[in-house]
Amino acid sequence: MAKTALQFRHNGRDVAIFVDGGTNLLVALREGIGDMTPKFGCGQGGCGACSVLIDGELHLSCLTLAETVAGRSVETLDGIKDGPNLHPLQRAFAENFAAQCGYCTPGMLMAAKALLDRNPSPSRAEVVEAISGNICRCTGYEPIINAVLAAASGGRARA
C-alpha cells in the first residue's frame, strides 16, 4: 500500500515524512523523525506516556492518526528546553526528585506544560487534575505535584 506524504511543524521546525495509512503520531514521531521523547506505554490512551501538544493542546500521540496533524504544530519534550538550558519544569522535576525510572516523565512534563501555559499559578488540585491522565508507577505522584507547583512559583516552595 502506498505511503502518504505528511508535513507538519515539529518543535518549531517544518518536517516532511512518509507514513503508512493508519500510522499513529507516536510511531511517526519516533520512527519517522527519530524523536524518542514521547514513550509507548499502553497504546490505549490509558497511561499518558506518549503525551504531546498539538497546536498547544495536550493530546495522546498513540491515539492520534498521524495524517490529522498535517499543517499543524506538534510539540514534544524534545522541544521544550532552551538550547543547553533545561525548561523550568525539567529543572523542578530534577530538584524535587520527580523522576525515578523516568518512563512517565516526558508525558508528565508535557501535561504539566499544557497546564502552566494556560494557568501559570495553578492550585494543587488543578495540578492533580492536569496530570490525572498520566500514570506513574514509581513516585507516588507527590514529588511530581510538588515539582509542578515549584516550577509554577518560579522555584519557590508552595503549600
Which residues here bind other proteins, judged by CB under 8 A? 1, 4, 20-24, 43-45, 48, 51, 57-60, 62-65, 67-68, 111, 114-115, 128-134
CB of 65 to other proteins, least distance (A): 6
CB of 83 to other proteins, least distance (A): 28
**Residue 68 or 123 with smaller CB distance to other proteins:** 68
**Residue 33 or 131 with smaller CB distance to other proteins:** 131
The edge-to-edge listing of strands for the beta sheet with 73-75 is 13-19, 4-10, 73-75, 51-54, 57-60
**Residue 4 or 153 with smaller CB distance to other proteins:** 4
d(CA 103, CA 17): 26
Using CA atoms, how far residue 33 sits from 4, 9, 134, in Å, is 15, 11, 24
Residues 77/49, Cβ–Cβ less than 8 Å: no
**Residue 62 or 151 with smaller CB distance to other proteins:** 62
CB of 127 to other proteins, least distance (A): 11
CB of 23 to other proteins, least distance (A): 8
* Residue closest to 54 by CA, chosen among 14, 17, 24, 25: 25
